[in-house]
Amino acid sequence: MIRVGINGFGRIGRALTRIISSKRKFKIVLINDIDQDIKNLSYLLKYDSIYGKFLGNVSSNKSVIKINNNKVKLSSKMKINEVPWSQNKVDIVIDSSGTSNNVTLAKKVLKQKVKKIIITHSPKKNIDYTMILGVNEKDYNHNDHKIISSSICDASAIAPVLKQIDQKWGIESGFITTLHSRLSYQNLLDGTLRSISSPGHNWKDYSLGRNSMASLIPKKTTAVDAVIRTLPNLQNKLSGMSFRVPTAIVCGSDLSIKLKSSIKLNEVRKHFQKIAKQNKKIFEYQTEALVSIDHLKTTKSSIIDANYIDVVNANLLKMVIWYDNEWGSSSRVVDILDFISKKK
């Protein structure tokens, strides 16, 4: 059994805990979070306004959260390298804190006899490999890659689709617009926006500090850079932007791709229908008239909306994809955990 430690018990940390707790192969033995109120952490795991009540038993005492029959120790260290991973015989640490400082300190964790660290966002440096399943897992080197980024939710959804398009028809250029649900660090009323990834700093993008429930908020996106880290052949071919939208969960991406070859609409539809059947974990091809919330708790990376596939002038491809930015992304992190644990 693989012994897992989780650093950061926010939205992603709790989603990971729910998913991993249903897997017999893995055992969560230690959770670290700066919140020292164990009763509150237990409460937040048990009750969730989006995903509902935890399907199992959750209780807590002074230093332990009991999840079903598993007693998980709690720690509240600020720095990832100060957490007693080795004392608890943790094999793999998942860092879901989202802070850049913990990425910098990750190498020190490896000195504690931890075998691997999975980072649940897409840092530009201090990692060995960025892995998106359905894109580049075949190039993973088990001996050399110790600190692995699972990328970000948007890239995990977009990159597998772009890889399929590029392999089949070739991408000349493209523009990506992500429609991203509001995040917990955004304001309910206008004000200064504090950075989560770099504590002590404020966002310079002032519009992001506006009331997140009153407007669509345009912003720059990190999704394109994250995609290119796993598809370097698309360097200088893509650009994009994002809108933060006043919804709680599930994101969408609008892809406008200029192709190197001419295609027909039906050709695109048939290709992605076929791919969705071949790789059911990554893709879903849906034809119903659905809205974002209908994709709540999907485990798929990319749900391709057949209603909004279009082709203009034979080489401009338009697609819309959906993804649960928490549950879907966390499902891929657990799949990466499973993938690397099978390597020797």
Q: Which residues are catalytic?
A: 153
Count Cα atoms within 13 angstroms, Cβ side, for 17: 36
Q: Which amino acid is at 262?
A: S
Query: Which pair of tokens denotes residue 75?
Result: 């720690």
In sequence order, the β-bridge partners of residue 336 are: none
Query: How far is 180 from 241, CA to CA, in rounded Å?
Result: 11
**DSSP per-residue string spanning 185-220:** TS-SSS-PPBPSSSTT-B-S-GGGGS-TTTS-EEE-
Query: How far is 67 from 45, CA to CA, in rounded Å?
Result: 9
Instruction: Using alpha carbons only, give the angle 301, 302, 308 rounded to the nearest 5 degrees.
Output: 170
Query: How far is 137 from 301, CA to CA, in rounded Å?
Result: 14
